[in-house]
Chain A
Amino acid sequence: MPTTLDRRTVAAGFLAGGAAAALPRVARAQAPAPLAKTIPSTEEKIPAVGLGTWITFNVGDDADLRKDCVAVMAAFFEAGGRMIDSSPMYGSAQAVVGAGLEALGSPKPLFAAEKVWTSSDGPAQIEATRKLWGVPRFDLLQVHNLLSWEAHLDTLFAMKDAGKLRYVGVTTSEGRRHGELEKIMAAKPLDFVQLTYNPVDREAEQRLLPLARERGIAVIVNRPFQQGDLTARLEGQPLPALAEPLGATSWAQLILKFIVSHPAVTSAIPATSRVDHVRENLAAAAGPLPDEPTRTKIAAEIVKL
Chain B
Amino acid sequence: MSEWWTYRPSDFLLFVPRTYYRLLEHYGAGAWPWQVAALAAGLAVLVALVRGRPGALRLALALLGAGWIAVAWLFLWGRLASIAWSADYAAPAFVAQGALMIVLAALPLRAVDVSKPRRLGASALVASALAYPLLAPAMGRPWAAAEVLLLFPDPTAIATLGLLALLPAGRRAALMIAPLGWCAFQGMTLWTMGAPEAGVLLGAATVALLLPLGRTVRRRRDRAARDRPPASPGA
Q: Which residue of B is nearest A180, CB measured? A: B3
Bound complex: CA A62 to CA B85 (Å): 16
Bound complex: CA A56 to CA B13 (Å): 11
**Which residue of the partner chain, among B3, B10, B13, B83, contacts A60 with CB atoms under 8 Å?**
B83
Bound complex: CA A64 to CA B23 (Å): 11
A235-259 with Cβ < 8 A to chain B: none
Contact with B along A171-200 (1 / 0, CB 8 A): 000111100000000000000000000000
Question: Which A residues lie within 8 Å of B218 (CB)?
Answer: none
B107 on the A face (CB < 8 A): no
Question: Which A residues lie within 8 Å of B15 (CB)?
Answer: 55, 58-60, 91
Q: A60-B23, A174-B6 in contact; A92/B13 too (CB < 8 A)?
A: no
Q: Which residue of A is nearest B20, CB measured? A: A60
Tell whether, in the assembled complex, residue B6 and residue A61 are in contact, meaning their CB atoms are under 8 Å apart: no
B231 on the A face (CB < 8 A): no
Tally A residues with Cβ within 8 Å of B.
19
Q: Which residue of B is nearest A61, CB measured? A: B82
Bound complex: CA A64 to CA B22 (Å): 10
Bound complex: CA A273 to CA B15 (Å): 11
Tell whether, in the assembled complex, residue B3 and residue A91 are in contact, meaning their CB atoms are under 8 Å apart: no
Q: A55-B13, A174-B6 in contact; A65/B19 too (CB < 8 A)?
A: yes
Q: Which residue of B is nearest A172, CB measured? A: B3
Q: Which residue of A is nearest B87, CB measured? A: A91
Tell whether, in the assembled complex, residue A62 and residue B22 are in contact, meaning their CB atoms are under 8 Å apart: yes
Q: A55-B13, A55-B15, A65-B19 in contact; A91/B83 too (CB < 8 A)?
A: yes
Bound complex: CA A177 to CA B18 (Å): 33
Bound complex: CA A227 to CA B8 (Å): 13
Bound complex: CA A91 to CA B23 (Å): 14
Tell whether, in the assembled complex, residue A176 and residue B14 are in contact, meaning their CB atoms are under 8 Å apart: no
Question: Which B residues lie within 8 Å of A56 (CB)?
Answer: 16
Question: Which B residues lie within 8 Å of A273 (CB)?
Answer: 16
B2-40 with Cβ < 8 A to chain A: 3, 6, 10, 13-16, 18-19, 22-23, 26
The secondary-structure label for the interface of chain A is: loop
Bound complex: CA A175 to CA B6 (Å): 9
Bound complex: CA A176 to CA B4 (Å): 9
Question: Which B residues lie within 8 Å of A65 (CB)?
Answer: 18-19, 22
A221 to chain B, nearest CB (A): 18
Q: Which residue of A is nearest B14, CB measured? A: A91
Contact with B along A43-82 (1 / 0, CB 8 A): 0000000000001101111101100000000000000000
Tell whether, in the assembled complex, residue A91 and residue B82 are in contact, meaning their CB atoms are under 8 Å apart: yes
B84 on the A face (CB < 8 A): yes
Tell whether, in the assembled complex, residue A60 and residue B19 are in contact, meaning their CB atoms are under 8 Å apart: yes
Question: Which B residues lie within 8 Å of A62 (CB)?
Answer: 19, 22-23, 26
Bound complex: CA A300 to CA B15 (Å): 32
Tell whether, in the assembled complex, residue A92 and residue B6 are in contact, meaning their CB atoms are under 8 Å apart: no
A48 to chain B, nearest CB (A): 26
Q: A91-B83, A92-B83 in contact; A58/B26 too (CB < 8 A)?
A: no
Bound complex: CA A232 to CA B19 (Å): 19
**Which residue of the partner chain, among A58, A61, A174, A177, contacts B14 with CB atoms under 8 Å?**
A58
Tell whether, in the assembled complex, residue A90 and residue B14 are in contact, meaning their CB atoms are under 8 Å apart: yes
A146 to chain B, nearest CB (A): 9
Tell whether, in the assembled complex, residue B3 and residue A177 are in contact, meaning their CB atoms are under 8 Å apart: yes
A263 to chain B, nearest CB (A): 28
**Which residue of the partner chain, among A64, A92, A176, A227, contacts B82 with CB atoms under 8 Å?**
A92
User: Which B residues lie at the A interface, using CB under 8 A?
Assistant: 3, 6, 10, 13-16, 18-19, 22-23, 26, 79, 82-85
User: Which A residues lie at the B interface, using CB under 8 A?
Assistant: 55-56, 58-62, 64-65, 89-92, 174-177, 227, 273
Q: List 20 A-B contacts (CB under 8 A).
A: A55-B14, A59-B15, A59-B19, A60-B15, A60-B19, A60-B79, A60-B82, A60-B83, A61-B82, A62-B22, A64-B22, A89-B14, A91-B14, A91-B15, A91-B82, A91-B83, A91-B84, A92-B82, A92-B83, A273-B16
The 3 closest A-B pairs by CB, nearest first: A60-B82, A60-B83, A176-B3
